[in-house]
Amino acid sequence: MEPLRGGLLSGDVPAIHQHLINAPVRRTPSEWGLRWVWNHPEVTVVLSGINAMEQVRENLATAEQGVANSLSPGDLAVIETLRDTFASRVKIPCTGCRYCMPCENGVDIPSCFMYYNQAYTYDAKEKAQGVYLWTLNGSFSGGVPGYASCCVECGECEEKCPQHFPIREYLHEVSEFFGK
């Protein structure tokens, strides 16, 4: 499910394209992502969102070729390089364990970090900002907004964080980046 990260891997991401130019096989970013999933023998179904008939055609063609263990060592090297590139673009290394939660002021700390990371990792500030503003506006949490800007810097989250992250500093970064 979500093999293309909600479409983020299908977009115009320079970090992807720079590695695919010299790949041993020409494939779209979507094909690479779907083929990687289909390459795993334990996968029997892939759920991918589709917005247009062209995506249906591409996904079906990819599924026809996507069988377990079908990627070459060269293909897998391209995918590993992409994985390492994306990992290097993560700004906040939060694992989303949620030990920092709940926040007395309603800040959804892991989600704030996740959307911030998505913006940088996939060169998708507008998309990440839109989702950040929409999902953390309070309509899903009883009217209490979960934005990073709601942080009052009490520090309770940092005391609970097993990674010992400077959460207050990170939330300030997120707030400056996204606004609100």
pLDDT in tens, 61-99: 888 888 899 999 999 999 999 889 888 989 999 999 999
**Separation CA 82–CA 21 (nearest Å):** 12
Domain count, the chain: 2
Greatest CA span in the chain, whole angstroms?
A: 54
Q: Which distant-in-sequence residues (6+ apart) come within 8 Å of 30 by Cβ?
A: 4, 9, 10, 55, 58, 59, 62
Residue 70 domain boundaries: 5-88
Report pLDDT digits (tens) over 37-69.
Answer: 999 999 888 887 788 898 889 888 888 888 899
> Do residue 74 and residue 127 come from a single domain?
no
140 & 76 share domain: no
| pLDDT at residue 2 tops 80 | no
> Torsion angle, CA of 46/47/53/56, rounded to 10 degrees?
0
pLDDT score of 180 more than 70: no
Same domain, 71 and 121: no
Among residues 74, 72, 7, the alpha carbon closest in space to that of 34 is found at 7
CB 148 within 8 A of CB 37: no
More confident position, 13 or 51:
51
Contacts with 148 (C-beta within 8 Å, 6 or more apart), sequence order: 107, 112, 171, 172, 174, 175, 178, 180
- pLDDT cut 90: percent of the chain above it: 53
Q: Find the helix or strand (DSSP H, E) in which 114 lies.
A: helix 109-121
27 and 74 belong to one structural domain: yes
> Could you tell me if 115 and 83 lie in one domain?
no
Asked whether residue 101 is domain-assigned, the answer is no
